[in-house]
Structure 1
Amino acid sequence: MFLKFIELKLLSREYIRVINSLTEQAEKEGSFPKLTTKDVEAKLPSAVLNQAIRDAKSVFKKTKKEKKRPILRKPTYYINNQNYSIGHASIAFPIIVDNKVKKTIFPALLTERDQQFLQNATCGLMRIVEKSGKWFAQVSLEIPTETTTGEQVIGIDLGLKVPAVAVTSEGKTRFFGNGRENKYMKRKFRSERKGLGKKKKLRAIRKLDHKEQRWMKDKDHKVSRQIVNFAIKNQVSVIHLEKLTNIRKTTRTSRKNEKNVHTWSFYRLAQFIEYKAKMAGIKVEYVNPAYTSQKCPSCSTLNKAIDRKYSCPCGFHTHRDKVGAMNIIHAPVIGGHSQSA
């Protein structure tokens, strides 16, 4: 069993070598050549080599756009859905053993949630990677969903001090995430990087960057899951999210929040909400965010909030971010129709 994993490690390195070699050749020639597996010398199963050629062509297309050839370094191994199979506690795919291509069975730990997804999904490309001495199989899935019926709409306002505020069309409100904790952790990572920078420990800085990204990603996953669960509980059929194009250029923020707004991934959180909502059969629509934090939901007058409090001369007052979420419910949908008031 141990020898199979050693062979898999060598094959994953070979996979990356082939891609880098082909993209370098294409860069010299100015175009990607027409290739088959017979034209490429590589110690890879033909089905996997075919995928490597396709990946190299895709990387070269990006090279032409960005005018710089990326050199891939992290070993990986891709298998298309016709050449692997997933069992109850195993995965089988082709590797080379004793110079012969053999579909080899590897033990795998599949959770009940994994099994549930696989029962109803169409499997796509599978990616094999090694992380911290453990091997992972990442499979793309196409999952059919049934759209939730009903008229409930939820508006979600994303921010720094409050990561997300959700308001349903019936007025039910919930705040998600901990903005203070987020800012504290980012300050902590920033301070540690500064100290490592003075000591010129570049490798340690890179490791710390990866640790920060994993922490932020985990927070986004948890907040997005809580939002979708809130939507399911309230029988929501449509989620409205702000189209946050150029948010870093347009957001007005204090000096102490300036670094946070330039490093926090609003887009990633929105993407996590979207894909989790779609899996639950909830439609996601993006709306124009103009004036959503200033417009009074009661009389439509524009007012500026003072700190986190919003007050209007008409008598309406509430939390500033709640105002944004309430207005997002009825804001114009980009490329579609807005919800009626």
Structure 2
Amino acid sequence: MRRQLQTAKNRKAIKRLGCKERRIVHYWNHVISKRIVQFAEQTGATTIKLERLKGIRQMKRHWKRSDRNIHSWSFFDLEKKIQYKAEQKGLIVEYVDPYKTSQQCFRCGNVKRTNRRGSLFQCSCGYTKQADVNASFVISARPSIAG
């Protein structure tokens, strides 16, 4: 739709579309952050660990074409919403280094690019999990960095 509007040089409609996109992202960031904080509360957690995503935009050249939609997402906005909602509930937010969290094995610590194949994580030690679940375990076990 944006491409069609740009071809037609309809700047007013492009601006309106941009405002709509921002409202949608803002809404979903509220929903996601609320669910994360509620989950932490329900499980009795005292700390929420997040990857320090500063500089993620520079990774754009390494992303596959289908992953480029993530470039338009507001990570900082989501991070700040999680932070203030967690503080309201008395939870601590800590940050970890995101380097190779999706390629590291939670069980043995082995880091290989071939460990992750799409949505499945398989390590040579025999550990198999859904890739995002494994990465979340790795994040939870990593030491916090200054954030």
Contact 1:248 1:261 survives alignment (8 Å): no
Instruction: Determine helix, strand or coil for the equivalent of 2:9.
Output: coil
Question: 1:257 matched to which residue of 2?
Answer: 67
Deviations 1:211-255 (A, max 9, x none): 011011101110110111111111110110110011122364212
Question: 2:83 matched to which residue of 1?
Answer: 274
Contact 1:295 1:303 survives alignment (8 Å): yes
Give the Å deviation of 1:278.
Answer: 0.7
Q: Any residues of structure 2 matched to 1:1-341 within 5 Å, and which? A: 192-250=1-59, 252-258=62-68, 260-304=69-113, 305-335=116-146
Number of residue pairs matched by the alignment:
144
Give the Å deviation of 1:256.
Answer: 2.4
Q: Could you tell me the TM-score, scaled by structure 2's length?
A: 0.91
CA distance in 1, matches of 2:103, 2:67: 20
Amino acid at match of 2:26: K
Give the Å deviation of 1:195.
Answer: 1.6
CA distance in 2, matches of 1:273, 1:196: 35
Gaps of 5+ in 2: none
Flag the structure with larger Rg. 1
Give the Å deviation of 1:312.
Answer: 0.6
Instruction: Determine helix, strand or coil for the equivalent of 1:271.
Output: helix
Deviations 1:179-207 (A, max 9, x none): xxxxxxxxxxxxx2222222221111101
Instruction: Determine helix, strand or coil for the equivalent of 1:205.
Output: helix
Equivalent pairs: percent with the same residue? 35
CA distance in 2, matches of 1:266, 1:303: 26
Instruction: Determine helix, strand or coil for the equivalent of 1:262.
Output: helix
Instruction: Determine helix, strand or coil for the equivalent of 1:291.
Output: coil
Amino acid at match of 1:295: Q
Instruction: Determine helix, strand or coil for the equivalent of 1:299.
Output: coil
Amino acid at match of 2:5: L
Q: 1:197 to 1:250 in 2, by over 3 A?
A: closer
Runs of 4+ residues over 6 Å off in structure 1? none
Amino acid at match of 1:269: L
CA distance in 1, matches of 2:9, 2:59: 35
Instruction: Determine helix, strand or coil for the equivalent of 2:110.
Output: coil
* Structure (1/2) with the larger helix percentage: 2
Give the Å deviation of 1:317.
Answer: 0.7
Instruction: Determine helix, strand or coil for the equivalent of 1:286.
Output: strand
Amino acid at match of 1:325: S
- Could you say what the CA RMSD is over the residues aligned between the two structures, in angstroms? 1.5
Instruction: Determine helix, strand or coil for the equivalent of 2:111.
Output: coil
Q: Which has the higher contact order (CA 8 A, sep 6+)?
A: 2
